[in-house]
Amino acid sequence: MSISKVVIPAAGLGTRLLPATKSQPKEMLPVVDRPAIQYVVEEAKASGIDDILIITGRGKRTLEDHFDRSIELERHLEAKGDMAKLAAVRSISDGPATYFIRQKEPKGLGHAVLCAEKHMADQSFAVMLGDDIFVSEPPAIAQMIELYNNNPGIIIALQEVSDSQIPLYGIVSVCKKQGKALLIDDLVEKPSLKAAPSNLAIVGRYILTPEIFDALKSIEADKKGEFQLTDAIRYLMGSVPIYGYKFTGCRYDVGSKLTYLTTNIELALMRDDLRDDLRKFLTELIND
Ligand code: G1P
């Protein structure tokens, strides 16, 4: 059976973006003209996903409002004859069924994924992190679903990172290449540069098999009291094939101040309605 469900963990506290994220979820911060998480949902829709589960937490109610219909706004735009904006607003709530579950305590990414256990009903599923935007054709998660169909198992999106970035990511070691699937024989969550087995980092897209739930219940919390998804995947080594995949395309992280700003600029430069004026502004700014 192929992948039709996705879980989008969006329950993190977003402390790297404070004070902007004090009462506003980081996934709702605008990137050009839409909240970051909307890009992630659009990627899921374009990849044939028909069931989206968003894991939220305290103070994240605006996420539910964003993906709900806004009848008053639709009526207002219709009365004004603003059909382009009406279509843009309607498309947000159209399409796959969207569900929400609250993670009651911020106990880490692994614990957020565990909240999805009942919903996934023993099927393999995708995980897409709500603050990682991927721009690619075909969409990154569609590339991974295709790989999963030929290589059933856990699939993790990978990207090479510089030495200074290594302690910010889960890092893997690859022992064998099977076409596009890279067989993984070790994973470490946020290692020091010295302890890192390579510079191949886990980035925000995964395909997971249902065994992950028992693994998440079997692992210990880390020093911060958080349950790490990387540790649960490591726990399954030897019983479930674990593949890495270097996706085609670009990834933008909106989880830190600098990358949030650069993502806005890069994505705006991809837009026909903004590119020329923004490029002119940036050139003048740099030449000043
Ligand atoms: C999480 C994962 C980490 C992964 C990263 C990708 O960390 O735990 O393995 O490399 O996402 O963005 P976080 O950035 O949520 O601390």
- pLDDT tens per residue across span 190-234: 999 999 999 999 999 999 999 999 999 999 999 999 999 999 999
Question: Can you give the pLDDT at residue 91?
Answer: 87
pLDDT of 73 over the 80 cut: yes
Query: What share of the chain in percent tops pLDDT 70?
Result: 100
* Beta-carbon contacts of residue 26 (< 8 Å; ≥ 6 apart): 12, 14, 17, 20, 36, 130, 131, 254, 255
CA of 64 to the centre of ligand 1 (A): 23
Q: Which of 185, 146, 191 is closest to 166 using CA atoms?
A: 191
Question: Can you give the pLDDT at residue 287?
Answer: 87
Q: Please state the domain extents for the chain.
A: 5-255
Query: How far is it, in rounded angstroms, from Cα 205 to Cα 229?
Result: 12
Mean pLDDT of 82-94: 90
Query: How far is it, in rounded angstroms, from Cα 196 to Cα 263?
Result: 27
Question: Can you give the pLDDT at residue 128?
Answer: 98
Query: What share of the chain in percent tops pLDDT 90?
Result: 83
Query: How far is it, in rounded angstroms, from Cα 141 to Cα 207?
Result: 8
Tokens of 91: 């498309």
pLDDT of 256 over the 80 cut: yes
Mutational test site, ligand 1, from 27, 103, 114, 168, max ligand atoms within 8 Å of CB: 168
CA of 212 to the centre of ligand 1 (A): 17
**Residues lining ligand 1, Cβ inside 6 A:** 109, 129, 132, 169-170, 189, 201-204, 228-230
Q: Going by CA atoms, what residue is nearest to atom 9 of ligand 1?
A: 170
Span of 38-47, 55-64, 254-263, 272-281 with lowest mean pLDDT: 55-64
CATH of domain 5-255: 3.90.550.10
255 touches 17 (CB < 8 A): yes
pTM to 2 decimal places: 0.93
